[in-house]
Amino acid sequence: MLRDRDGIYAEDFKARVRAMGIEEVITAPRSPWQNPFAERLLGTVRRDCLNHVIVLGEAHLRRTLTRYFRYYHNFRTHLSLEKDAPTPRAIHQASVGQVIEVSEVGGLHHHYERRAA
């Protein structure tokens, strides 16, 4: 886990991370430029997912994040990928069927696809 030296990361947090088997990589002091990609991703996860969910515990957080990242990689559009997802999506012809809405992340997000009736 890449993190900065913010005081919010108390000993309880550090101990829990170690207990989960996660290795911490701490940025150099006063060097916010070292983790712009992590900051961008964390901001996206927070705005798109965690700001809209009341987390009920560690297991619930893990399930929610697993579902969100599946949505993020398979269906969420990215401007840097010319509005495609990291995992390219198939283009379905109109003859395949009607367009239906498929809920993702417990209904927080949706994607649309064609399915035969």
CB count in 10 Å sphere of residue 64: 19
Domain assignment present for 97 = no
* Residues 22, 56: Cα–Cα separation, whole Å: 22
Tokens read off for 54:
């009341």
> How many domains are there within the chain?
1
For residue 110, is pLDDT > 70? yes
pLDDT tens-digit series, residues 38-75: 778 888 999 999 999 999 999 999 999 999 999 999 88
Q: Judge contact between 111 and 103, C-beta under 8 A.
A: no
CB count in 10 Å sphere of residue 68: 22
Domain assignment present for 64 = yes
Which structural domain, as residue segments, surrounds residue 79?
A: 2-88
Domain assignment present for 96 = no
Domain assignment present for 113 = no
CB count in 10 Å sphere of residue 63: 15
pLDDT tens-digit series, residues 6-45: 778 888 888 998 999 999 888 888 776 677 777 788 889 9
For residue 85, is pLDDT > 90? no
- pLDDT score at 49: 94
- pLDDT score at 117: 67
Domain assignment present for 56 = yes
